Chain A
């Protein structure tokens, strides 16, 4: 960005904001910041948060990102964080038109952050919260030594994915469902509640642990040998993950939404011919089909476009699912309304499960692949299986589901965990090393039951040795 281009960009932002608002996007106040690449990579390594605490793993991420940038292997064009006001970092190295695209893209992200229900409980003052967390950790380093804090962070970060974003304290939970007959699905819930009253719980569970699906929280509450400051650190890590979690579980929806809108907003700008060419180039790079892993920009974009088309009225009357599903009235007035409603309610799992079609699977060339010998091979193209495999991959943000079964197993103070096996096996070396980390927090034996090569197996670590049975 040349200096004289900055007023031009500022003008463009005003125009984009105006068009975005007219088209129905509703973003919080925006703070755009132009940064040199080095800073953008630093921010990228810290999950976009300039105030995040210090840890060597961020240094490692930074190192990798910077190397990739230096060798022109990859490039971050933009970074936007879920705060109010919403901060977006624009790369100094981008051209004016590239940054216009980024601004449009970012406006849709900000709208998504604000309206998607999965973000409803995220802290919009997270920059300040993280800054406080960093300060607290620095204090703990001063009191307890850098090494202890680093070890604790190593252990906490190893299980940072094992949190339950739906955990609610008893008092926070909705009241007894039976007292709310107005709920249209009361019959379903009622049935479920009856079953659990009749003792339909999994038999192995000795006593109900409300935090069962939230390992970090369970450690904070039940690890008897953790000092208060250590519990505090784990709570802070948990809070961070609660903040990051929706970004992980709505990657496709969010990027799809942003890509959908940057294309439409840019069309409303008066671009020169050269700008149009450059814009198209960058846009096509964003949505290009990838080598092997999913391109969330492309998949999300096509999904939203397809949904919009399906619900749009045609010459024959309202589109959508009225005819096929036997609904009298369409769920949404038109395609636009449909996608605006879905950006409020869906995450990646639900969006794909509900709206991925045979045609889309083919068009996007989605598939399942597996390792055969030393080769990675496409194993499945049948669209429903691909969809289900995809949804499974995206469930819980890709983290394996692990539940706390017992915090005093066999009366020996053992922490018993169980992997909720869904057909996918765990990486064993990672499992063993992670158990070591959990053990370093629990300080007594920690065990985890999972399935290896089709057979149930329990891995344990008592601090001196690791074993399995």
Chain B
């Protein structure tokens, strides 16, 4: 054999094959997540997680299906580190998560890893605060910079190549030549930026939650996970959104965000109390709410004291008068009473009053879309 060989080290920096197909894979993961949002959004592990936390989302549609043997049925060949005896336990189902190699027995489906923030991005792409009033915009000075004009002096990094070339062509044309020669100093153009003020619409969101004794674990869980996503959404999308947290049983009180999400109470339910408190806060702090868009959201099991229903409706009507949108979510189960606040609210037929029924976890996503879905979305 003649020793015919070469050794080389080429520039591979433009070899982007893997990255491109990874993008496509990524897009498919997002698509699958979007289709399963309802299930993913209501997962317990996500609700209280911070944005950087990586969550694993099982995605069946991205598995590469093949005709293959089922390792769980029958025997497989393996190799140990010496002295394995029949009966030796090699592993358990639950502990076999690591590595994620597709050919390992036990790894049943493909799990995509995304951060909560990435998941939120996918979810929030279809949400907005509806009926925002443009008239009430506050101007926020010097929010950022925008390239808005062209100048003859500037930083090299802001060189506007296209305009520079055009200038060169024009100059050449002025002197009778069709083809531009070298680019002269006078041809060079730069993009020039200006500081811009952006208008921001201010909004106040009143988060109201029933913490009465009739709110069981599931009801509280649903309300909390809805509000968690709501708060996350508002903070990520709107710079000037103020949040007020109100908890109520027969009496309402303002609580801190942390208390709102962690504490439970007991007692009966009077929804009028919380609507009144909301009105008071609006009146005190925002002068009957004329300068701000108000969005009250209320979660309850609907089991309001019958004697309070009329008062609650009146209070809700008052609140509606100042609100852009009032979202009412009712967590229902088979044992819910037939006539609840939900049926009363529905009878009102006010388009700014949106209601959502929640029977199971997946309905949390439906509620988010019912309240905040962009127009044109299938509800």
Could you jot down 7 A-B contacts, CB within 8 Å?
A38-B12, A159-B67, A298-B79, A365-B84, A371-B71, A398-B69, A426-B68
Q: Is the CB of B6 within 8 A of A366?
A: no
Q: A35-B12, A54-B21 are contacts. A378–B67 as well, Cβ < 8 Å?
A: no
B10 — nearest CB in chain A belongs to which residue?
A33
CA distance A290 to B91 in the complex (A): 14
B162 close to chain A: CB less than 8 A: no
Chain A interfacial residues counted at CB < 8 A: 94
Residues of B close to A66: CB separation below 8 A: 18
Pairwise interchain contact B15-A39, C-beta atoms closer than 8 A: yes
Given A26-B1, A369-B78, A380-B75, A375 and B66 contact (CB-CB distance below 8 Å): no
A interface, CB within 8 angstroms of B: 6, 9-10, 13-14, 17-18, 20-21, 25-27, 29-36, 38-39, 41-42, 45-46, 50, 54-60, 62-64, 66, 68, 73, 85, 92, 157-159, 161-162, 289-295, 298-299, 364-371, 374-381, 386, 389-390, 392-393, 398-400, 402, 419, 423-431, 433-434, 437
Whether A41 touches B18, Cβ cut-off 8 Å, given contacts A27-B1, A428-B70, is yes
Q: A375 to B80, alpha carbons, bound, how many Å?
A: 16
User: CB distance B18 to A427 under 8 Å?
Assistant: no
* Contact A6 to B3, CB < 8 A, known contacts A368-B76, A370-B76: no
A17-B1, A68-B99, A365-B84 given; name 10 further pairs at CB < 8 Å.
A14-B3, A57-B25, A66-B18, A366-B77, A376-B89, A376-B92, A378-B80, A381-B85, A399-B68, A419-B67
Task: Report whether A29 and B18 are in contact in the complex, using a CB–CB cutoff of 8 Å.
Answer: no
Q: How far is the CA of A73 from the CA of B71 in the complex (A)?
A: 24
Chain A residues whose CB sits within 8 angstroms of the CB of B88 once the complex forms: 377-378
The contact size tier of chain B is 35 or more
Looking at the complex, which one of A32, A92, A371, A428 makes contact with B5 (CB distance below 8 Å)? A32
Contact of B90 among A26, A376, A386 (CB under 8 A): A376
**B256 at interface, CB cutoff 8 A:** no
CA A433 to CA B64, docked complex, whole Å: 9
Q: Bound complex: CA of A39 vs CA of B24, how far in Å?
A: 18
Bound CA–CA A293/B102 (angstroms) = 13
Residues of B near A365 (CB, < 8 A) are: 79-84
| Chain B residues in 8 Å Cβ range of A294 | 77-79
B337 CB within 8 Å of chain A: no
Query: Which chain A residues border B80 with CB–CB below 8 Å?
Result: 289, 292, 365, 367, 378
Question: Given the complex of chains A and B, what is the CA–CA distance between A376 and B84 in angstroms?
Answer: 13
Closest to A27 in B: B1
Contact B77 A32 (CB under 8 A): no
Residue of A whose beta carbon sits closest to that of B69: A424
For residue B148, CB closer than 8 A to chain A, the reply is: no
Question: In the complex the two chains form, is B89's CB within 8 Å of A380's CB?
Answer: no
Residues of B within 8 A of A92 (CB): 9
